[in-house]
Chain A
Amino acid sequence: MFPQFGATADTLSKASTMVFRIGTDAHLYDDPDDVSIAPLLDSKFDSEKCEALKRLLALIAQGIDVSNYFPQVVKNVASQSLEVKKLVYLYLLHYAEKRPNEALLSINYFQKDLGDPNPLVRAWALRTMAGIRLHVIAPLVLVAVGKCARDPSVYVRKCAANALPKLHDLRQEEHALAIEEIVGKLLNDHSPAVVGAAAAAFASVCPYNLSLIRRNYRKLCEILPDVEEWGQIALIGILLRYVIASHGLVKESIMFSLQCTGSSHSVKDGPDADFGQVKESTDMDGTCDYEFVNMVSRCYIEGPDEYLSRSSYANRESFELTGEQFTSGKSNDDVKILLYSTSPLLWSNNSAVVLAAAGVHWVMAPKEDVKRIIKPLLFLLRSSNASKYVVLCNIQVFAKAMPSLFAPYYEDFFICSSESYQVKALKLEILSSFATDSSISSIFKEFQDYIRDPDRRFAADTIAAIGLCAQRLPKMAHICVDGLLALSREEFVTKDFGFGDQEAGILTHAILSIKSIIKQDPPSHEKVIIQLVRSLDSVKVPAARAMIIWMVGEYSSLGEIIPRMLNTVLKYLAWCFTSEALETKLQILNTVCKVLVGATEDLLTFKKIFSYLVELAECDLNYDVRDRARFLKKLPSSNLVSIGQEEGTNDLPEKDLHVVAECILGRETRKVKTESFSYRFYLPGSLSQIVLHAAPGYEPLPKPCSLLLDDLNVPEGTSEIKKRAADYSGTDDYGTSSDPSDNESASDYDSQHSVAESSGSARGDDSEFTSEGNDNADPLIQISDIGNASENQNGVSQSGPANLGELMSDRALESWLGEHSGSSNPGISEQSQVRISSARISLGDVGKRVKPKCYSLLDPATSGNGLKVDYSFSSEISSMSHLLVCIEVFFKNCSSETISEITLVDEDSNRALDAADKAADVNQSCLASSDNVPTLVPMESIASLEPDQTARRIVQVRFHHHLLPLKLALYCDGKKLPVKLRPDIGYFVKPLPMDVEVFIDKESRLPGMFEYTRSCAFTDHIEELNKENGDSLFVKDKFLAICESLALKILSNANLCLVSIDMPVAANLDDASGLRLRFSSAILSSSIPCLITITVEGKCSDPLNLSIKVNCEETVFGLNLLNRIANFLVEPTLS
Chain B
Amino acid sequence: MPPLMGIEFLCRVSDVLSDYLGGLNEDVIKDNFVIVYELLDEMIDNGFPLTTEPNILREMIAPPNIVSKVLSVVTGNSSNVSDTLPGATGSCIPWRAADPKYANNEVYVDLVEEMDAVINRDGALVKCEVYGEVRVNSHLSGLPDLTLSFANPSILDDVRFHPCVRFRPWESHQILSFVPPDGEFKLMSYRVKKLKSTPIYVKPQLSSDAGKCRVNVLVGIRNDHGKTIDSITLQFQLPPCILSADLTSNTGTVNILGNKTCSWSIGRIPKDKTPSLSGTLVLESELERLHVFPTFRVGFKIMGVALSGLQIDKLDLKTAPSRLYKGFRALTRAGEFEVRS
Contact = CB atoms under 8 A, between A and B. Distances in A.
A130 B45 CA distance: 11
A375 B127 contact: no
A191 B90 CA distance: 8
A23 B68 contact: yes
B5 A90 contact: no
B90 A347 contact: no
Name the prevailing secondary structure of the A interface residues. helix
Contacts of A356: 2
A1036 interface: no
B329 interface: no
Given A82-B79, A131-B46, A226-B92, A454 B294 contact: yes
Contacts of B168: 344
B224 interface: no
Contacts of A82: 79, 81-83
A463 interface: no
A390 B158 contact: no
Interface string A374-400: 011011001010110011000000000
A54 B34 contact: yes
Given A454-B240, A687-B1, A225 B33 contact: no
Interface in A439-467: 442, 445-446, 448-449, 452-454, 456, 459
A386 B4 CA distance: 9
Contacts of B84: 118, 120
A416 B2 contact: no
Contacts of A686: 2
Contacts of A685: 2-4
Nearest to A506: B291
Contact of B33 (A25, A459, A496): A25
B325 to A, nearest CB: 27
Interface string B213-253: 00000000000000000000000010111000000000000
Nearest to B12: A350
B163 A347 contact: no
Contact of B48 (A89, A162, A418, A499): A162
Interface in A754-776: none
A459 B66 CA distance: 53
Interface string B1-15: 111110111010000
Interface of B is mostly: mixed
A608 B313 CA distance: 88
Interface stretch (B96-104, B118-126, B137-145, B301-309): B118-126
A355 B2 contact: yes
Interface string B22-48: 000001001111110110010001101
A61 B38 CA distance: 13
Interface in A352-381: 352, 354-356, 375-376, 378-379
A162 B287 contact: no
B297 A418 contact: yes
Interface stretch (B70-78, B265-273, B314-322): B70-78
A230 B5 contact: yes
A411 interface: yes
A25 B239 CA distance: 46
Contacts of B240: 454
A235 interface: no
Interface stretch (A151-159, A532-540, A994-1002, A1114-1122): A151-159
Contact of B32 (A25, A165, A350, A490): A25
B48 A230 contact: yes
B189 to A, nearest CB: 8
A453 B292 contact: yes
Given A81-B79, A690-B3, A120 B85 contact: yes
Interface string A678-706: 00000001110010000000000000000
B290 to A, nearest CB: 9
Given A118-B84, A344-B167, A687-B2, A162 B70 contact: no
B32 to A, nearest CB: 5
B41 A228 contact: no
Contacts of A17: 27
B338 interface: yes
B292 A449 contact: no
B178 interface: no
Interface string A406-422: 00000100101110000
A139 to B, nearest CB: 19
Contacts of A89: 41
Given A47-B77, A349-B161, A416-B338, A387 B64 contact: no
A166 interface: yes
A193 B48 CA distance: 13
Nearest to A697: B1
Interface string A10-47: 00000001001111111011000000000000000001
B52 interface: yes
A23 B64 contact: yes
A23 B70 contact: yes
B81 A86 contact: yes
A1008 B34 CA distance: 59
A889 interface: no
A806 interface: no
A350 B286 contact: no
B30 A26 contact: yes
Contacts of A90: 37-38, 41
A499 B287 CA distance: 10
Given A131-B46, A375-B158, A351 B338 contact: no
Contacts of A200: 48
A449 B121 contact: yes
Contact of B46 (A21, A165, A349, A454): A165
Contacts of A416: 116, 118, 336, 338
Contacts of B167: 225, 344, 347
B210 interface: no
Given A162-B50, A414-B118, A352 B45 contact: no
A368 B13 CA distance: 38
B239 A454 contact: yes
A431 interface: no
Interface in B182-230: 186, 189, 191
A348 B161 contact: yes
Contacts of B71: 23
Contacts of B73: 22-23
Given A166-B46, A193-B94, A155 B286 contact: no
Given A225-B167, A230-B49, A352-B5, A452 B31 contact: no
B326 interface: no
B19 interface: no
A355 B186 CA distance: 20
A81 B50 CA distance: 22
Interface of B: 1-5, 7-9, 11, 27, 30-35, 37-38, 41, 45-46, 48-50, 52-53, 60, 64, 66, 68-73, 76-77, 79-85, 89-90, 92, 94, 116, 118, 120-121, 126-127, 131, 157-163, 167-168, 170-171, 186, 189, 191, 237, 239-241, 284, 286-289, 291-295, 297, 336, 338, 340
Which 9 pairs, one residue from A and one from B, show the smallest C-beta to C-beta distance? A23-B69, A344-B167, A497-B286, A154-B90, A352-B4, A352-B5, A47-B77, A26-B31, A375-B158
Given A193-B89, A344-B167, A352-B2, 14 more contacts: A17-B27, A24-B31, A28-B33, A50-B77, A82-B83, A120-B83, A131-B46, A155-B85, A158-B50, A192-B92, A382-B131, A414-B118, A417-B338, A490-B291
10 contacts: A22-B69, A23-B68, A23-B70, A26-B32, A50-B79, A225-B167, A344-B167, A384-B7, A387-B4, A442-B126
Interface of A: 17, 20-26, 28-29, 47, 50, 54, 57-58, 61, 81-83, 86-87, 89-90, 118-120, 123, 127, 130-131, 153-155, 158-159, 162-163, 165-166, 191-193, 197, 200, 225-226, 228-230, 233, 344, 347-352, 354-356, 375-376, 378-379, 382, 384, 386-387, 390-391, 411, 414, 416-418, 442, 445-446, 448-449, 452-454, 456, 459, 490-491, 493-494, 496-499, 685-687, 690
